[in-house]
Amino acid sequence: MPLALYALTAGAFGIGVTEFVIMGLLLEVSADLKVTLSSAGLLISGYALGVVVGAPVLTILTARWPRKAVLLGLMAVFTIGNAACALAPDYATLMAARVLTAFAHATFFGVGSVVATGLVPANKKASAIAIMFTGLTVANILGVPFGTWLGQHYGWRSTFWAVTVVGVLAFAVIALLVPKSNAPMEKTSLKHDLAVLTRAPLLLGLATTVLSWVGVFAAFTYIAPMLTEITGFSEAAVSPILLVFGAGLVVGNLAGGRLADWKLVPTVFATLLALSVVLAGLTFALHNAIAAVALVGLLGAVAFATVAPLQMWVLEKAQGAGQSLASSFNIAAFNLGNAIGAWLGGMVIDFGPGLGFIPLVAALVPLAAMLTALWAVKLGRVSALAPAAAE
Whether the predicted pLDDT of 174 surpasses 80: yes
Whether the predicted pLDDT of 296 surpasses 90: yes
Whether the predicted pLDDT of 263 surpasses 90: no
DSSP character for 23? G
Whether the predicted pLDDT of 37 surpasses 80: no
Rg for the chain, CA atoms, rounded: 20
Cα–Cα dist 12/166, whole Å: 10
- Contact in structure between 188 and 322 (CB atoms under 8 Å): yes
Cα–Cα dist 244/254, whole Å: 16
- Contact in structure between 12 and 74 (CB atoms under 8 Å): no
Closest C-alpha among 247, 214, 241 to residue 227: 241
Q: What is the pLDDT of residue 271?
A: 94
Whether the predicted pLDDT of 384 surpasses 60: no
Whether the predicted pLDDT of 80 surpasses 90: yes
Superfamily grouping for domain 187-381: MFS general substrate transporter like domains (1.20.1250.20)
Higher pLDDT, 385 or 38: 38
- Upper half-sphere CA count for residue 280 (Cβ side, 13 Å): 11
What average pLDDT does the structure give for the chain?
A: 84
Whole-structure pTM value? 0.77
* CATH code for the part of the protein at 1-185: 1.20.1250.20
Cα–Cα dist 370/357, whole Å: 21
pLDDT tens column, 331-363: 888 888 887 888 888 888 888 788 899 999 999
Q: Where are the domains of the chain?
A: 1-185, 187-381
What lies within 8 Å, CB to CB, of 116 at 6+ separation is 5, 8, 125, 128, 129, 131, 132
Closest C-alpha among 310, 267, 327 to residue 113: 327
Cα–Cα dist 359/284, whole Å: 9
Q: Residue 324 to residues 62, 181, 213: CA-CA distances in angstroms?
A: 10, 15, 21
Stretch (H or E) spanning 181: none
Whether the predicted pLDDT of 227 surpasses 60: yes
DSSP character for 146? H
The answer to whether the 1-185 and 187-381 domains have the same CATH topology is yes
